[in-house]
Chain A
């Protein structure tokens, strides 16, 4: 079975802030990590391979330094890694990203495609389902458990707000996974050796036969108009006085607000 896992290298978002005066990003000392949800996708790929055999290929689209993320997945046990990199991809929104990744997957061939449910920098959760649409294959999002994998079908559990759905799908299929699915393994010593030596295959826009007008900023229907700091409430005030006075003041406010 050909298993392809899509990963993204992201800034560790807990550290990214915005300067409210200049409305620009402050990213001093922010580390790049593999999107945490994608680690669960890699683990799921490895577990499927252990069960039914096959190969796990990890693919990422990004700048040349995203190669470090790919080597990390090889140290976990992935067989191959592919870096989709080209100046033409710059400025891609989810639509253009999904288009490029779908072309790469078409080029590689896949029975099962795995993605994290979303990336922590954008939190859109759109690229996975959009890849499936471009490939004209089914997808199931928010997978919390894989019940059964066969050569032509898969049974999975999809997390919903009020529980979960058990879903059967034909293959090929794209799945997006949540953290509950598994615990990503630590790299083995052997894996680390393999990661050092591994040759990372690089693909350009021409290699995947992508249409130029569907790539990068040009191929992106959405645009970021501006970024800004989350605003604070304007009508805020501090309640002063002794503890008793504070409590009495706040209870009075509750009555005024008809909370009591």
Chain B
């Protein structure tokens, strides 16, 4: 494929120039021209008022669609604890598999049959598990080799994994080895009604832009999914499924885990598990302001988070940071105090069920994601809110 300007239609109006992220459009002799800088991103196709920019298919673009059936979820564990995102993927996977009329299988490494059983109860129809020593700790090579082998043997149509340090590290190796596409860090998944392809939605450019990605020709279609954006399915203790043990012959590793060091910050863990988060930004003004937020959080039984601005000012430690470069959270209630709502913050909290924003600037972008917006002074509103809540709870 390539992008072409239909010279007869082009009026030389220059509208297309700023649409190109790669500076690949120039005006030559009064007409637009696509240069060799073009990365085929298609951004320019829709901007031309004359419809003069078009994509041209080449013979070599046509490909046979790969084969596959079934949806797989890679369920990760660390030190015998199955990651929460695995259950979320089973919830999402169940929904997609039902649309496709196919089965959900889970793959579990470094765990016993009890873990496999747990995954069945969370919605898997079948679980492949491997409890060999070589996959007990996470190393990229054996994980990638074993998962690739299983995929090559059983040919699933879709493979999902958590966008965690483990998933984001070894799943790319699997995609590279199988010669198929992988979409990182998805925030929404769906099935295209017509083609049955997996629609993979993910943020790009630091969350300023969302993109829908397809893997139209090769199978499986692979995606890593951000934790806490998908809802878990129903837990059913009586659910039955098929459990298959797999070996790990001929699997090697050139890396070795010497030691695992825990540096658990209780706050960070609590933030991700919290039902209620009270978060502050630049408007909080300092450590003293955060004290006020702690009081509100305590009254509500919640935790305190912060925007990057507040962390950069040194008012609160990094482990409280929520957003693109901090934690992604999804509580039932998120109260944003004095947070303007930069996109980088929004991507870390917009999957919260209910968002309350308090900000003195009525134009603050945070209001665009807030279910309840309050324009006002946080130093007036927050203490009053705390007092009211304490009264109601009879404290």
Contact = CB atoms under 8 A, between A and B. Distances in A.
A16 B381 CA distance: 34
Interface stretch (B111-119, B126-134, B152-160, B168-176): B168-176
Contacts of A223: 213-216
A233 B255 contact: no
Interface string A139-163: 1111000000000000100111111
Interface string A247-260: 11011011101011
A160 to B, nearest CB: 5
Contacts of B28: none
A11 B41 CA distance: 14
B261 A251 contact: no
Contacts of A260: 300, 389, 392-393
Interface in B164-213: 164-166, 168-170, 172-173, 175-177, 179-185, 199, 203-213
B124 interface: no
Contacts of B255: 138, 140, 167-170, 173
A125 B184 contact: yes
Contacts, number: 296
A165 B206 contact: no
22 contacts: A13-B206, A26-B18, A63-B36, A95-B182, A126-B172, A126-B184, A128-B172, A129-B173, A129-B176, A142-B169, A162-B269, A165-B257, A165-B261, A167-B258, A221-B217, A225-B213, A226-B212, A230-B209, A238-B375, A243-B381, A243-B384, A260-B392
B64 interface: no
B204 A122 contact: yes
A260 B350 CA distance: 21
B273 to A, nearest CB: 13
B82 interface: no
B176 A63 contact: no
B100 interface: no
A142 to B, nearest CB: 6
Interface stretch (B4-12, B239-247, B286-294, B362-370): B362-370
A206 interface: no
Contacts of A142: 165, 169
A206 to B, nearest CB: 16
Interface string A44-59: 0000000000000000
Given A122-B204, A259-B276, A161 B164 contact: yes
B172 A233 contact: no
B220 to A, nearest CB: 10
A27 interface: yes
Interface of B: 1, 18-23, 36-44, 46-47, 60-61, 78, 137-141, 144, 164-166, 168-170, 172-173, 175-177, 179-185, 199, 203-218, 253-264, 269, 275-276, 300, 332-333, 343-344, 346-347, 350, 354-356, 367-377, 380-381, 384-385, 388-389, 392-393
Nearest to B61: A218
Interface in A197-222: 213, 216-218, 220-222
B35 to A, nearest CB: 9
A167 B208 contact: no
A125 to B, nearest CB: 5
Interface residues of A, number: 96
Contact of B176 (A134, A138, A237): A134
A183 interface: no
A133 B184 contact: no
A236 B380 contact: no
B261 A239 contact: no
A222 B204 CA distance: 15
Interface string A117-141: 0001111111111101110011111
Contacts of A127: 172
Contacts of A28: 18
A222 B219 CA distance: 11
B260 A237 contact: no
B209 A16 contact: yes
A22 B46 contact: yes
Contacts of A186: none
